Structure 1
Amino acid sequence: MNKALEALLDLLDLEQIEEDIFRGVSRSAIVPRVFGGQVAAQALVAAGRTVPGDRLPHSLHAYFLRLGDPDAPIVYTVDRIRDGRSFTTRRVVAIQHGQPIFHLSASFQTYEEGLEHQAPMPPAPDPETLPTAAQMLPKYDFLDSGVVDRMLEARAAVDLRYVDAPPYGSIGEPREPRSQVWFRTNGKLDGAIDEPLLHVCLATYVSDMTLLDSVLLAHGRGGWATGDVVGASLDHAMWFHRPFRADEWLLYDQESPSASGGRGLGQARIYTQDGRLAISVIQEGVVRVPR
């Protein structure tokens, strides 16, 4: 396990400061604010700490309310909305400087047998044949070196590999609004940390990294890496369908059905390497062209 992954796991190991109240810190991000995936993952950790261990998240719905301050701790307060025979519901509010910056509702369920079907996994190349971020980024020599350093640092805990060129590799060339990436943690999870909830929280963390890429591709925009678009996540929803491991390859198949009103919508499916549909994701974000 590399040091970046160890640091990410420490980031998700929240401090409990009172019953149903937890505190987390932040890490470096590509832009000078708290990374949205971090807040979502930490909020899910906080919710999960108040739920019986035999119940895992099956869905979450979240709103990003304010930009987070990366230099200040984040306090997570958990409301125990409902504890049913099969389902448990929690609401989490993330607070900084006395104001809410993020709101999450999550539902947990005991394992059940039931009807089974799924959308088939789309074609995708073997992830081992694709370049790593460290191999890919240097060829885009027009990117500011500071931006590249921040991107590599922010994603050092995750091995994330683009199937096709990322938005900053297709500037001025509008493409079909679809994007695929393979991802897994940069190291295996084992021993005491190998808990199903942690895998779900890590996938939640990664899910905010590239979901709006397809919006940018449709317009030939490089995005946050080049500064030709200003963006931020607005809301985020995930449904967890089947078991998976975040330290094994997952295919993030993303598309954008719409952009309008200064907002862009991304929707995606996440598959295990053997073709099981593990997660569905939808996110809307601010996507503005600077004036």
Structure 2
Amino acid sequence: MTSIDDLYNILHLNQVEDLSFQGVSKTVGSPNVFGGQVLAQALNAAYRTITNNRVLHSMHSYFLEAGDLTLPITYDVGVMRDGGSFSVRRVTASQNGKLIFILSASFHKNETGYNHQIDMKTDVAQPEDLLSWDDMLEQFGDTLPQKTKTFLEIPRPVSFKPTQVANPFDKKDLPPYMDVWFKVKGDASNYNLETKQQILTYISDYNILAVALHRHASKAHWGNTQTASLDHSMWYYRDFDFNDWMLFSMDTPSTSNARGFARGNIYTRDGVLVASVAQEGLMRPIQ
């Protein structure tokens, strides 16, 4: 995938029954299905059963089994409730009859009320002054660890620009936070809020678990730590423009019991808070 249109084609599922949908997978460099893809496809299935123009405001999910890249994924939607203001859907994802993922999503009618948000950082470096993953591959590809180089070589529909890049050969712990600018590749002008929320959810599973390794970077890295997303929650606040850079500002309050917890806020370039994300992941040292 090299553009937002390619990503949309992967996330838009085939309908096989009234409440059943099916999708295929594309690798992001992992041997298993990317969690962000399953999240976004499940939301596509849920949204396809919403007929009252309500908008997604929150979702909560659990990853139960690793997904097989070679098999289609079936998404079955349960209509839990259509109330006066909110609609709730439950989505299960399976492959060959095995349950791999569950999600609950809530949709809300348009209402007016109070409005506030936490401000975006003011001292963050701007994307024009930073290197993207593609730039890093081009400039430093021959000096990068092979696993990192292979990961960066995968074509992606999104460009990422971290505000700070740690030297993988420096064995020192890092601060418990991370800021990454991102921008979709291609023109997103014609996408509605429903589709943008699905694409944003796909992107939200990039980078977030990495910040939970920061406080342990002197000894922990992707090569000696078994990692996997365990759950993922997200809250959606406001509409946004995908044609400019957006900032994913993350931190990690805790790691314990071979699990790491990370959370983040997603802002537009001019500081509008669009969504919040929380994820806990497996962080098991390989003995």
TM-score, normalising length: structure 2? 0.93
> Residue 257 of structure 1 contacts residue 266 of structure 1 at CA under 8 Å; is this kept in 2?
yes
Query: Which position in structure 2 is the counterpart of 1:158?
Result: 158
Query: Which position in structure 2 is the counterpart of 1:139?
Result: 140
Deviations 1:9-32 (A, max 9, x none): 110111001111000000012210
Distance 2:242 2:145 in 1: 29
> Residue 170 of structure 1 contacts residue 217 of structure 1 at CA under 8 Å; is this kept in 2?
no
Letter in 2 for 1:164: Q
Distance 2:185 2:169 in 1: 27
Query: Which position in structure 2 is the counterpart of 1:185?
Result: 184
> Residue 134 of structure 2 contacts residue 159 of structure 2 at CA under 8 Å; is this kept in 1?
no
How many residues align structurally? Answer: 283
What is the aligned counterpart of 2:212 among 211, 215, 237? 215
Deviations 1:195-239 (A, max 9, x none): 111110111001111111211111116643xx1221000001000
Distance 1:118 1:245 in 2: 18
Distance 1:112 1:271 in 2: 22
User: Is structure 2 residue 57 aligned with structure 1 residue 58?
Assistant: yes
Distance 1:169 1:51 in 2: 46
**CA RMSD in angstroms, aligned pairs only:** 1.8
Deviations 1:235-282 (A, max 9, x none): 010001111233332110000010010000001111111111111111
Letter in 2 for 1:202: I
What secondary structure does 1:212 align onto?
Answer: helix
What secondary structure does 2:28 align onto?
Answer: coil
Structure 1 residue ranges (4+ consecutive) displaced by more than 4 angstroms after TM superposition:
none
Distance 2:249 2:205 in 1: 13
Distance 2:54 2:145 in 1: 44
State the shift of 1:165 in Å. Answer: 1.0
State the shift of 1:149 in Å. Answer: 3.5
Letter in 1 for 2:264: A
> Residue 24 of structure 1 contacts residue 75 of structure 1 at CA under 8 Å; is this kept in 2?
yes
What is the aligned counterpart of 2:283 among 256, 268, 287? 287
Distance 1:10 1:42 in 2: 11
State the shift of 1:101 in Å. Answer: 0.4
TM-score, normalising length: structure 1? 0.92
After TM superposition, list the pairs within 5 Å mapping 1:65-104 onto structure 2: 65-104=64-103
Higher mean alpha-carbon deviation, 91-100 vs 124-133, is at: 124-133
After TM superposition, list the pairs within 5 Å mapping 1:123-272 onto structure 2: 123=122, 124-137=124-137, 138-139=139-140, 141-144=143-146, 147-153=148-154, 156-166=156-166, 169=168, 171-191=170-190, 194-220=191-217, 223-224=221-222, 227-272=223-268
**Is the alpha carbon distance of 1:151 and 1:218 closer, same or farther for their aligned partners in structure 2, counting shifts above 3 Å?**
same
> Residue 29 of structure 1 contacts residue 151 of structure 1 at CA under 8 Å; is this kept in 2?
no
State the shift of 1:119 in Å. Answer: 0.8
> Residue 5 of structure 2 contacts residue 186 of structure 2 at CA under 8 Å; is this kept in 1?
no
Distance 2:133 2:67 in 1: 26
Higher mean alpha-carbon deviation, 22-31 vs 182-191, is at: 182-191
State the shift of 1:190 in Å. Answer: 3.3
Letter in 2 for 1:163: T
Identity of aligned residues (%): 38
Query: Which position in structure 1 is the counterpart of 2:37?
Result: 38
User: Is structure 2 residue 101 aligned with structure 1 residue 105?
Assistant: no
